[in-house]
Structure 1
Amino acid sequence: MASLPVVALNGALAGRASRGYLERKALAKARIQASKLCRRFCTLGWASSAGGGIAVEVRRDSVPRSNRLIAAGRRPGARKDRVMPDYMYGLSANGSILPLPSPKLYSSKPPRCMSCLSFCTKTGKGAASYANIRTYVKAGALNSDNRTEPLPRCVVLDIEGTTTPISFVTDVLFPYARDNVGRHLSATFETPETRDDIKLLRSQVEDDLKQGVQGAVPIPGDEAGKEQVIAALVANVEAMIKADRKITALKQLQGHIWQTGFENNELEGVVFEDVPKALTNWHSLGIKVYIYSSGSRLAQRLIFGKTNYGDLRKYLCGFFDTYVGNKKETRSYIEISESLGVDKPSDVLFLTDVYQEAVAAKDAGLKVLILIRPGNGPLPENHGFKTVSSFLEI
């Protein structure tokens, strides 16, 4: 960038740079907005190289510019379309570096702070320069017309194909449940938890037999003996898994089987690289994040509680499963939006990889984005939804 745009933000009162102030949301928002602007400028072709930097002022009119804080800097060598909030430093108006970006994301070294302050203080009195761009961005996201869009109050995430590779579910979780269902039932047959699982499966299989569902076999009563009951249960569960059925009876049992696997360190959740970064960003902006999956709430907590990026549950406010309804039915999303306490359904952003789920959520009034991830199925032509390949594009 030949010269540096300075973008003013509404922020908290910036007097002395106390630790309490530095940990408030104003500076965090400025860092997030600076990284968004870097990516936007790169997309528009204004700043395509790795050189240059950007500074964002945490602003309130009642505070003299000499007392305001600035989010500035960039990770050396990083293209601007890859700049993240963690790459940005906090600066005081006199050039003092305040909170350093965390070094843990970058091996042993934090990113170096670029020489951005000279652009912000070239009057010699700490007054910010607005020579190029005088843009005031409230809490919102820049769109392609350089206008602002309100951030969602809540984000609801699908798991399979959205936060997590489909291959992890189909090649790891499902086989683990299928291979261990007999062992699990034998070891826990008399526990209240498993008795409840068996009751749900009996009810589901009875309905399946009436409807002629392929693979359904009768489950004998307990008087037939434990081994025969378990054998019938295993046959039904294997058929349900093979058909990838999204039913509560199956998902509840799978969750309990996976719990054993996670507790024994035989399983670890997998999420895409952009997921923890996006969760951190949304959390810093006060956006509440929820999960809606056909997997049980227990299974959801297990997956995010022990991932390849650590425990991510601290960023999640709640979990929805098939008890709220089928994921391809509009009523399910109406129920979710009503339970989140938002003013209107459009305050909720739903992220999924499944077209039918996107249609159902849109019909309920939610905002929707479809994820294009490796291994995801094709979408219909002219599907009409915006798509992204990473949460960081949102």
Structure 2
Amino acid sequence: MKTTLSSQNLFTTTNTTNEYKEVTSTSRSNFKSCIHDKKCDTNNECIKGVCFEGKCRCRCSPFAHCIKNEDCLGRNLCSNKCISENGTSVNCHFKESCALGSQCLQGVCVGIGRYVRDAYEAISCNIENAEIDCQGYGSKSECTIELGVCIRHKNASEIGRNASNECQGGISATYGFPSCISYDDKPIKCGAKGNMQQCSRGSFCGLYKMAQTPSFKVLLLDIEGTTTSISFVKDVLFPYAYDNVEVFLDENFHRDDVKKVIHGLVILSQKEAANDTDIKTPAEDEISQKCREDLVHNVRVWIKKDKKLTALKELQGIMWKDAYESGKVKSHIYPDVLPVLEKVHSVNIPIYIYSSGSVQAQKLLYQYTSFGDVTRLLSGYFDTNIGPKVESSSYTKIASEIGKPAGEILFLTDVDKEAFAAKSAGLQSKILLRDGNAPISEEAKTTFETIDNFEKIL
């Protein structure tokens, strides 16, 4: 049975005997015995022959209070943790599992939260509405995005030498002045030689970095070639729709959502057949086998020709939904994407998606990624219903829908024509150069900043 701590005392340094009474009485026999982690269930950790829950599998993330795993950023897990004086953490179920001076706290999201260089350690303490005792490696203060770092020099002889932290709350940072952080939550200059008398007890004089938000106020993202490999869509999603469209329509034509899509495909086929001899005009009876056969033919032609047609995208979206939910397909996003989206989201910058794929398909792609559900970070979605991606009017409409000036929106894409269209509408644009993306024009190279990693936008 786990003890419950309030958010007010979550990171305090003192604990009464009563706070640990229930935890210390927990018998080790309640837990599975083990020799190493592989003997434990998934995500559990073997400590001193006992499997404890909540093995940490996360990137650099701050401490935060949590009740369930969904309260934690990224792949962090909500679990009891030993929070030690040097900023490290291990799993625990009772105080005795922790090193001397550490606490066993319930409901704590713990990431690595620690950046180590030759001369100093910098430990993230970016949490809201709670205090963390940074004595020994920083000062005691309420941590905010602006003051989300405790700095400790690894050697007292290095006091006064500039140190910086690259693992803190906020988006990016600019170098400040040698400082310590005071009890009143303000940085205090401590001089080039490190005036320790100006620092809180246990703190060393290091270089404080003020958090800095990016120039854009809204982030608008393309999918293929930007957040997701083109090969995933080309080699996984499109072939799935091509191979399974006949069986899918035969088995599901009676569904209301599929009937609606079939009607849209019939109208689209009649329109496209006038200009494309490869397209068949389907039978008028939309529930007939002949109509479905004609539509299967047309859908496969459009997929081969990589057509960006709304009715086609809606059909693919429904088919992919079934594939995602059944576990047949897991979507791909580049590993550099999620950490940046989490940082952008943490400073209340809304993130939108604009893709030729239907809104439904977009939601599914970000819900069923190999990194888990990413839709929690997204504020909205746009597809070709708002307009073609190569027309500036589409981006003007998006800015109007979002309610922000076009100049405050950053659009990321891998297609130069889309970047030019967004620029014409007044948006900021950058082009992603990733392996497998199509080459861009020389004009685009001189007009836009090109990046190969999402970190470059911060």
How many Å apart are 1:129 and its aligned residue? Answer: 9.0
Q: Which has the higher contact order (CA 8 A, sep 6+)?
A: 1
Deviations 1:239-289 (A, max 9, x none): 111111111010000000101101111011110001110111001111100
How many Å apart are 1:215 and its aligned residue? Answer: 2.2
Equivalent residue, structure 1, for 2:285: 222
Equivalent residue, structure 1, for 2:176: none
Deviations 1:136-184 (A, max 9, x none): x56434xxxxxxxx3x211011000000000000000000011111111
The SS at the match of 1:199 is helix
CA contact (8 A) 1:66 1:126 kept: no
Equivalent residue, structure 1, for 2:160: none
- The 3 A distance-change label for structure 1 pair 87 and 357 is closer
Aligned-partner Cα distance in 2 for 1:385–1:120? 44
How many Å apart are 1:385 and its aligned residue? Answer: 0.7
How many Å apart are 1:204 and its aligned residue? Answer: 1.1
Q: Choose from 346, 363, 366 the match for 2:424.
A: 363
- The 3 A distance-change label for structure 1 pair 276 and 120 is farther
The SS at the match of 1:124 is helix
Q: Percent identity?
A: 34
CA contact (8 A) 1:93 1:121 kept: no
- The 3 A distance-change label for structure 1 pair 389 and 17 is farther
Aligned-partner Cα distance in 2 for 1:83–1:309? 23
Equivalent residue, structure 1, for 2:217: 153
Task: Please report the TM-score for the alignment, with normalisation by the length of structure 2.
Answer: 0.60
Q: Choose from 266, 276, 292 the match for 1:202.
A: 266
Aligned-partner Cα distance in 2 for 1:57–1:276? 21
Equivalent residue, structure 2, for 1:51: 118
Aligned-partner Cα distance in 2 for 1:346–1:247? 29
Q: Choose from 373, 378, 383 the match for 2:439.
A: 378
Q: Choose from 233, 241, 244 the match for 1:169.
A: 233
Q: Choose from 286, 293, 315 the match for 2:348.
A: 286
CA contact (8 A) 2:399 2:406 kept: yes
Aligned-partner Cα distance in 2 for 1:68–1:194? 54
The SS at the match of 1:271 is coil
The SS at the match of 2:352 is strand
Equivalent residue, structure 2, for 1:387: 450
CA contact (8 A) 1:73 1:87 kept: no
Aligned-partner Cα distance in 1 for 2:270–2:368? 36
Task: Please report the TM-score for the alignment, with normalisation by the length of structure 1.
Answer: 0.69
Structure 2 regions of 5+ residues with no counterpart? 1-7, 13-61, 66-72, 74-115, 127-138, 155-162, 172-179, 184-189
Size of the aligned set, in residue pairs, is: 308
For residue 303 of structure 2, what is the amino acid of its counterpart? I
Aligned-partner Cα distance in 1 for 2:205–2:182? 17
Question: Which aligned runs of 4 or more in structure 1 are off by greater than 6 angstroms?
Answer: 16-22, 54-58, 117-121, 127-131
Structure 1 regions of 5+ residues with no counterpart? 1-15, 29-48, 59-64, 96-116, 142-149
CA contact (8 A) 1:217 1:232 kept: yes
How many Å apart are 1:209 and its aligned residue? Answer: 1.6
The SS at the match of 1:222 is coil
Q: Choose from 179, 184, 197 the match for 1:124.
A: 197
How many Å apart are 1:230 and its aligned residue? Answer: 1.3
Aligned-partner Cα distance in 2 for 1:231–1:72? 66
Of the structure 1 ranges 252-261 and 380-389, higher mean CA displacement relative to structure 2 is found in 380-389
CA contact (8 A) 2:151 2:204 kept: no
The SS at the match of 1:215 is coil
CA contact (8 A) 2:170 2:213 kept: no
Aligned-partner Cα distance in 2 for 1:308–1:57? 28
Equivalent residue, structure 1, for 2:43: none
Aligned-partner Cα distance in 2 for 1:140–1:120? 30
Structure 1 or 2: more helix by fraction: 1
Equivalent residue, structure 2, for 1:12: none
Equivalent residue, structure 2, for 1:243: 305
Aligned-partner Cα distance in 1 for 2:142–2:197? 15
Question: Max radius of gyration: which structure?
Answer: 2
For residue 366 of structure 2, what is the amino acid of its counterpart? F
The SS at the match of 2:278 is coil
- The 3 A distance-change label for structure 1 pair 118 and 67 is farther
CA contact (8 A) 1:251 1:296 kept: yes
Tell me whether 1:317 sits opposite 2:390 in the alignment.
no
What are the equivalent positions in structure 2 for 1:1-394 lying under 5 Å apart? 51-53=118-120, 67=141, 70=147, 71-72=149-150, 84-85=167-168, 93=181, 122-126=195-199, 137=210, 139-141=212-214, 150=215, 152-210=216-274, 212-222=275-285, 226-342=288-404, 344-383=405-444, 384-394=447-457
The SS at the match of 2:307 is coil
- The 3 A distance-change label for structure 1 pair 329 and 54 is farther
Aligned-partner Cα distance in 1 for 2:372–2:191? 39
CA contact (8 A) 2:170 2:347 kept: no
- The CA RMSD over aligned residues, in Å, is 3.9
Aligned-partner Cα distance in 1 for 2:193–2:379? 39
CA contact (8 A) 2:196 2:205 kept: no
- The 3 A distance-change label for structure 1 pair 280 and 335 is same
- The 3 A distance-change label for structure 1 pair 134 and 281 is closer
How many Å apart are 1:130 and its aligned residue? Answer: 8.7
CA contact (8 A) 1:68 1:93 kept: no
Aligned-partner Cα distance in 2 for 1:326–1:358? 13
Deviations 1:330-385 (A, max 9, x none): 1110000001011x101111000001110110101110010011100001013111
Structure 1 or 2: more strand by fraction: 2
Aligned-partner Cα distance in 2 for 1:393–1:57? 24
How many Å apart are 1:84 and its aligned residue? Answer: 4.8
